[in-house]
């Protein structure tokens, strides 16, 4: 038992060191290039920067002053059609900005301290290195918290030891798109999305089991579901398992169900209302299909399911093969348990896949793998941990070896993508990924 525990801990330390190496690569690059760079990243942040620096949500001057866009993307952003109230649109949700607000306060205080003590001439511009480093550190902390919450949830679902659950969670995390979006590209919305869903599942499990906290657990579920929705609108889908658990609560006690609903709404409505207000200020309307405003469509009758999963153009299982194993495990777990709660999570994953496959840009542009499955990774973690927990020793060792190999491959891909050694917005085959291996050393020397 002690030897097994030591092996688990050694494996987790190895995963943590790999993740830290990727995280550190972004930190050391900050003096040269902004950690907030990128189109999605910039617009996620502009909700916060515009409010804190200018006190408005008129993004024109923010875009003109930012160091996060190439000249071509800057011009494209400034050329977006004006909204009904004469402002530049922002199709992204406010979630990433909301969770970054405390970190912004810390960075602002550090800049102020530097000015008062006379050892810094940095301004409160929201773009300089102090802000970037603080944001990276803060979101890395959220990533760690999300993994811990996920491990607790999986342990509770499967009724297994927490160390065993943590190994399953860690192996899937390291072999998934989250490796990149929770270490390097932390200014994208996907790390916050996973954080919100993992914390929501944690609160939901406590509420379902009637653990200490009572209706505060339901308020946490509402708060984190609301955060998921205002981070990535389509994540309203994860409300399906919440609804199923709530129906079970109502069946046991109507009074408890009504109080649970009130607590849930008390957590969710403030965030949803803030998003509605943001839309009203920027678009002049309370309800907006912001992607549609910019001409982006969903092809509901022609979803690209096969490409979404198996294409070399960021296909989920093509880039991250271990997730196929995890999905098989999730299906077996759901079939054996046959409970509404588990099927609720499976349904959420399936619907999420359908939505992703129906978007015109099903490959999600410059994406490390199929990043839009961020919230689906949690039930996949449970599926893989289920296989590990039920496997006989020989099969257990084989599964761990497969997962370690898949994680090593994903780590390799993360560096290729990080260093732009492979195209980011084009199909890339396995043979092409392997062919650039000799160039990896020269790329790493840049750091």
For the chain, give the longest Cα–Cα distance: 66
Please measure the distance between the N-terminal and C-terminal CA atoms of the chain and give it in whole angstroms. 41
Burial class (CB in 10 A: 0-12, 13-18, 19+), 267: buried
Q: Report which of 144, 173, 228, 217 is spatially closest to residue 382, judged by C-alpha positions.
A: 173
**pLDDT class of 143 with cuts at 50, 70, 90:** very high
Residues 6 or more apart from 393 whose CB is under 8 A from it?
none
Six-digit token string for 40? 């999605």
pLDDT at 122: 84
In whole angstroms, give the CA distance from residue 28 to residue 445. Answer: 13
Six-digit token string for 300? 């509901």
Quote the distance between the C-alpha of residue 334 and its chain's center.
24
Is a pLDDT exceeding 50 seen at residue 262?
yes
pLDDT at 343: 96
Is a pLDDT exceeding 70 seen at residue 372?
yes
Q: Which residue has the tokens 């490390």?
A: 368
**pLDDT class of 5 with cuts at 50, 70, 90:** low
Residues 6 or more apart from 191 whose CB is under 8 A from it?
139, 142, 143, 146, 178, 181, 182, 374
Is a pLDDT exceeding 70 seen at residue 100?
yes
Burial class (CB in 10 A: 0-12, 13-18, 19+), 409: middle
28-52: average pLDDT: 94
pLDDT digits over 276-325, tens only? 999 999 999 999 988 877 778 899 999 999 999 999 999 999 999 999 99
Collapsed DSSP state (helix, strand, coil) of residue 298: strand
pLDDT at 1: 46
**Dihedral sign, Cα of residue 159, residue 161, residue 164, residue 167:** positive
Torsion region of 115: left, alpha or beta (phi above 0 gives left; psi -120 to 50 gives alpha) = alpha
Domain boundaries along the sequence of the chain: 14-112+117-444
pLDDT at 258: 95
pTM for this model (two decimals): 0.96
pLDDT digits over 241-258, tens only? 999 999 999 999 999 999
Collapsed DSSP state (helix, strand, coil) of residue 359: strand
């Amino acid at each position: 038992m002690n030897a097994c525990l030591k092996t688990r801990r050694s494996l987790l330390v190895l995963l943590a060191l790999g993740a830290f190496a990727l995280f550190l690569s972004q930190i050391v690059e900050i003096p040269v290039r902004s950690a907030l760079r990128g189109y999605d990243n910039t617009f996620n942040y502009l909700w916060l920067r515009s409010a804190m620096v200018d006190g408005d949500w008129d993004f024109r001057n923010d875009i003109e002053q930012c160091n996060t866009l190439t000249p071509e993307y800057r011009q494209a952003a400034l050329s977006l059609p004006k909204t009904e109230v004469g402002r530049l649109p922002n199709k992204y949700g406010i979630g990433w900005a909301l969770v970054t607000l405390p970190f912004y306060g810390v960075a602002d205080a550090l800049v102020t301290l530097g000015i008062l003590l006379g050892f810094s001439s940095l301004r409160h511009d929201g773009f300089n290195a102090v802000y970037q480093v603080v944001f990276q550190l803060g979101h890395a902390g959220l990533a760690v918290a999300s993994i811990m919450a996920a491990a607790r949830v999986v342990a509770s679902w499967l009724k297994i030891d927490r160390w065993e659950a943590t190994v399953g969670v860690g192996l899937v995390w390291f072999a998934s798109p989250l490796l990149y979006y929770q270490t390097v590209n932390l200014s994208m919305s996907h790390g916050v999305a996973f954080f919100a869903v993992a914390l929501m599942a944690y609160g939901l499990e406590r509420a379902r089991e009637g653990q200490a906290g009572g209706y505060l657990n339901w308020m946490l579920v509402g708060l984190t579901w609301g955060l998921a929705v205002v981070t990535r609108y389509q994540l309203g889908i994860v409300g399906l398992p919440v609804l199923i658990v709530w129906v079970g609560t109502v069946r046991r006690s109507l009074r408890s169900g009504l109080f649970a609903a009130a607590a849930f709404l008390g957590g969710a409505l403030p965030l949803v209302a803030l998003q509605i207000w943001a839309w009203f200020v920027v678009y002049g309307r309370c309800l907006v299909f912001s992607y549609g405003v910019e001409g982006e469509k969903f092809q509901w009758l022609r979803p690209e399911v096969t490409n979404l999963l198996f294409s070399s153009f960021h296909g989920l299982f093509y880039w991250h093969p271990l997730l196929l194993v995890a999905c098989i495990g999730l299906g077996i777990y759901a079939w054996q348990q046959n409970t509404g709660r588990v099927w609720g999570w499976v349904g959420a994953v399936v619907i999420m896949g359908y939505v992703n496959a129906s978007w015109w840009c099903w490959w999600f542009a410059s994406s490390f793998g199929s990043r839009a499955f961020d919230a689906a990774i949690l039930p996949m973690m449970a599926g893989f941990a289920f296989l590990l927990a039920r496997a006989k020793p020989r099969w257990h060792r084989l599964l761990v070896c497969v997962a370690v190999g898949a994680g090593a491959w994903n780590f390799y891909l993360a560096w290729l993508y990080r260093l732009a050694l492979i195209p980011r917005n084009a199909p890339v085959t396995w043979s092409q990924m392997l062919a650039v291996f000799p160039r990896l050393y020269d790329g790493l020397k840049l750091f």
